[in-house]
Structure 1
Amino acid sequence: MLFMKARISRYVIGIITIWVMLFLYQTSQLPVHMPEMIGIPETRNYQWLFIVLVTITSILFIWLELYTIDDARRYYGNAYIEHQPTRKHTWLMFGVMFFALIVFLIIEPLVKTPMPENEKMIERSMMGMPILTAYVEVVLAPIIEELIFRRLFFVFFFKGMVNPWKRVLGIVVNGLFFASLHTSLLSPGMWVYAVMGMIFATTYVTTKNVKYSIALHFLNNLISVL
C-alpha cells in the first residue's frame, strides 16, 4: 500500500514538474518571438541580438533542467541508468538507432502526410529569420527537449525498466508524449513525431546516456532545416 502511494506520488510530482518545465521552456524561448511581437520589420538585421538573448535564457533554463534532474535522481534514484553499458555496446546501439533514423528520414517523405502545423511554423520563421530559427531548432532544441522528454521523463516514469516489456512500454508512451507536444495526436502527421520520439527514446534507453539521443535529435533537425 505504501509502495503504491509512493509511486502515485512520484507520478503526480513528475507530471507537475514536466509541465512546469515545458512552460518555462516556452518562456525561455520568448526572444525568438520578440521581433514579431514588437513589430520589427527587417528582422534579419536584428537576428544576432536575439540569438544572444535566446542563448542567455536557454543556458539559464538548461541549468535549471540539470538541477531539477539531479535533484529528482537523488530523491527517487534510478539504478537502471546508474549501471552504464560498455562503450562497445553503447556505440553499437547508437549505430543501430542512427541507421533507424536515416531509414525513417528516407521513408517519411514517401508517405503522403499533410505537413504538421509545427513544421509550417518553422518554415515561416525560416523565411523571416533563417539564422535565428536554424540556431534554435538545430542547436538549442535538441539539448533542451532531450533533457525534458528523455532524462526528466524517465526519472519519474519507467525509472526501473528491468523488465524488457516495461522498457518497450516506456518507449511507446514517451514517443506519444513527444508527439502530443508537437502536434495533435488526432492529426495525420502525428505518426511522424511519435516514431521520431520513439527513436530518440530507444537511443536513450539503450545507451543510458542522453548525449546520444541529443546527437540524433540534432541530426534530424539539421536535415529538416536544410
Structure 2
Amino acid sequence: MGILRAVTDLSSQQIVTYSAVYWSVFSNFLAVLIIWLLLRKQAPSTKIEKGQPLPVGTSIGYAVVGFIVLIVAQNICIIVMSFFGITGASPNTEMLGELARAVPLMIVFTSILAPILEEIVFRKIIFGGLASRMNIHVAAVISSVFFGLMHMDLTYLLVYVVIGLLLCYLYTKTKRIAVPIAAHMLMNVIAMIGQFILGGSGS
C-alpha cells in the first residue's frame, strides 16, 4: 500500500483493492514456486501416488470430463441448497469477481495460482498424507471438509466439500496432481466468466 501510495495517484479505496490483488498474486506465486522447488525431485511417497499414472492422453480426458462433472455437481448442490432457502452466488466467488473486475490481474490468481496451490496442499499433501495412514474414503472426506472450511463460506460448505471429493477422485484415479489442477482451473475460469457477465449485466 505504501508503494502504491508513493508512486500512483490512486484513491485510498483503489489502493486497498490494488494492494490486495497484487499481494495475493505475488504471495501465491512465491508459495507455488517454493513448493514446486521442494517437491519437484521428491519420489512418489503416498499411497495415492504409488503405481503407474494413467497415460497423458487419458489423463487429459479425465481433466476435461472431470471439469464438466464438477460444474454439474456444483449446480446440483445449489439446487439442493435452494430447497433450504439458500440462493444466490457464493459470497467468496462474488468477492473474487469484484476484485477481478476492478483489477483484471486477479484473474491470474483465481484461475491459475489458487488452483495450483489448493490442489498441492489439499489433494497432494493433506489427502495424500491422510490416505497413507487411514481409509482412503475417510481421508477424502476430511481433506474436502478442510478445503471447504478454507474458503470461509459455511453457507456453501456442501458445494466445496463435493468439489473436493470429486477432485480427490480425479487425483486417485489418474495418480497425476496435474489432472485435478487442470479441472480446478477450468472450473474457476468459468466461475470468473460468470461473474464478469453478471457484473456487466448489473451495471
* TM-score, normalised relative to structure 2: 0.69
| C-alpha contact (below 8 Å) 2:48/2:131 kept by paired residues | no
From the superposition, tell whether residues 170 and 89 of structure 1 become closer, same or farther in structure 2 (CA, over 3 Å).
farther
1:192 maps to 2:159 = yes
Could you tell me which residue of structure 2 aligns to residue 20 of structure 1?
none
Could you tell me which residue of structure 2 aligns to residue 215 of structure 1?
182
| 1:143 aligned residue (107, 116, 125) | 116
**Range with greater deviation from structure 2 (173-182 or 117-126):** 117-126
User: d(CA) in 2 for partners of 1:168 and 1:204?
Assistant: 13
Could you tell me which residue of structure 1 aligns to residue 51 of structure 2?
83
From the superposition, tell whether residues 83 and 117 of structure 1 become closer, same or farther in structure 2 (CA, over 3 Å).
same
Task: Give the Å deviation of 1:204.
Answer: 0.9
Q: RCO greater where, 1 or 2, for CA within 8 Å and sep 6 or more?
A: 2
| C-alpha contact (below 8 Å) 1:90/1:206 kept by paired residues | no
User: d(CA) in 2 for partners of 1:209 and 1:160?
Assistant: 20
Q: Which has the higher helix share?
A: 1
Instruction: Report the RMSD for the aligned CA atoms in angstroms.
Output: 3.6
User: d(CA) in 2 for partners of 1:136 and 1:188?
Assistant: 23
Letter of the aligned partner of 1:137 in structure 2?
A: T
Please give the per-residue CA displacement for 1:183-224, whole angstroms capped at 9, x wherever unaligned. 25xx33111111111111111111111111011111110111
From the superposition, tell whether residues 139 and 43 of structure 1 become closer, same or farther in structure 2 (CA, over 3 Å).
farther
User: d(CA) in 2 for partners of 1:96 and 1:160?
Assistant: 30
User: d(CA) in 1 for partners of 2:9 and 2:173?
Assistant: 46
Structure 2's unaligned 5+ residue stretches are 194-203
| 1:128 aligned residue (96, 102, 107) | 102
User: d(CA) in 2 for partners of 1:86 and 1:108?
Assistant: 29
User: Quick one: percent identity of the two aligned structures?
Assistant: 22
Equivalenced residue count is 180
1:66 maps to 2:36 = yes
From the superposition, tell whether residues 39 and 61 of structure 1 become closer, same or farther in structure 2 (CA, over 3 Å).
farther
| C-alpha contact (below 8 Å) 2:111/2:188 kept by paired residues | yes
Letter of the aligned partner of 1:142 in structure 2?
A: P
| C-alpha contact (below 8 Å) 1:204/1:213 kept by paired residues | yes
| C-alpha contact (below 8 Å) 1:167/1:205 kept by paired residues | no
Structure 1's unaligned 5+ residue stretches are 1-30
Could you tell me which residue of structure 2 aligns to residue 24 of structure 1?
none
